[in-house]
Amino acid sequence: MTLTPPAAGSARIDPLAPAHPGRWENGPVVVCHVDRAAVPVRLVSGRAPELVTEHFEVHRPGGRLLVLHRFRPDELDDDVSTVVAGELGAVVASAPIFERVVTGIVRSTVGDPLTAWSTFYANSLAVLRHPERAAEPAAVCPPEASLAGFAPVHARALDEVVGTTVADLGACFGFLPLLMAERGLDVVATDHTPGTMRLLSAVARSGVVPEAASRLRTAACDARAVPLRDDAVDTVTAVHLLEHLPAEDSVTVVAEMCRVARRRVVVAVPYEDEPDPVYGHLCRFSPDVLTALGDGTGARFRVEADHGGWLVADLG
């Protein structure tokens, strides 16, 4: 789920960049809200759509991908990602294209960039706080891929935190760090994409989560080399990050987590039959893999299953 952390396209996306009202363009992707902007004549090929679904109409004018939609502001939340993955399938088979389409939907639905994203964040956080109130996921979305289905992962991560200071690696949109700040924790959210961290910083200052303005800071960095001192925070979390990295990097990231954490490291991963390329997943995890990572920490640890796999290591 979500615009996944280390996808190749993210570095080339500025989610707050200026755009035409109702239309967002980046590289080979153009996304238009058909009720808010006329589709430019130059983008219409005169041919029938390549694909028509419940939410989308897809064209390929001049080698570009043109996605038309009618999402409403109240429908903007992270479940847009699962609708895109479910309905567009092979059209968005790579993470860079997937990310551009989802970003374009948010930006073309609400005119002002920060207002568009603040709407997206407010709607998403509302579901994560109260998943029982969420609407039924679209038929194309497996329940576990929806926001409501993922809410238990966030809740478990919050419950695993010890102390008052946290670093969250691979934060992506930063829903979890925002919820941590809301609980009164001081949080450093990190991700390798500067644009995503600029977006999270702007949203944190916008008042979507009032506590975040003073309790959350961001850092754009590689999870293998976090710019924090040794023993900088009480807990370091990496929630659905490692599956986006080559398998050999997991040991490096967990070692870096142990360096930065004073008390605990918390790792969560999905258990999949095969890594999902749409979400940028590169490797598959099992309890044995997590146990090997735990052994490598030299600390007391536990491996548990709960909406995926968990490795929790206590460092002292």
The helix (H) or strand (E) run that includes residue 264 is strand 261-269
Model pLDDT, residue 41:
57
Return the closest-CA partner of residue 311 out of 225, 236, 230: 236
Cα(272)–Cα(244) distance, integer angstroms: 13
Does the pLDDT value for residue 2 go beyond 70? no
Strands, E, within 81-232: which ranges? 165-168, 186-191, 216-220
Does the pLDDT value for residue 178 go beyond 70? yes
Q: Apex CA 141: angle with CA 139 and CA 143, to 5°? A: 100
Model pLDDT, residue 187:
98
Q: Per-residue pLDDT tens for 278-298?
A: 677 889 999 999 999 999 999
Does the pLDDT value for residue 42 go beyond 70? no
Cα(32)–Cα(107) distance, integer angstroms: 9
Distance of CA 145 to the CA centre of its chain: 12
Does the pLDDT value for residue 214 go beyond 80? yes
Q: Per-residue pLDDT tens for 91-139?
A: 988 888 999 999 999 999 999 999 999 999 999 999 999 998 877 655 4
Other residues' Cβ atoms within 10 Å of the Cβ of residue 133: 9
pTM for this entry = 0.90
Q: Mapping DSSP to helix (H, G, I), strand (E, B) and coil, where does residue 254 land?
A: helix
Other residues' Cβ atoms within 10 Å of the Cβ of residue 78: 23
Between 45 and 252, the higher pLDDT residue? 252
Contact 131, 151 (CB under 8 A): yes
Q: What domains are defined for the chain?
A: 10-122 (no CATH), 150-314 (3.40.50.150)
Instruction: Quickly state the pLDDT bin for 12 (edges 50, 70, 90).
Output: confident
Any idea which of 36-45, 65-74, 265-274 has the lowest mean pLDDT?
Answer: 36-45
Does the pLDDT value for residue 275 go beyond 70? yes
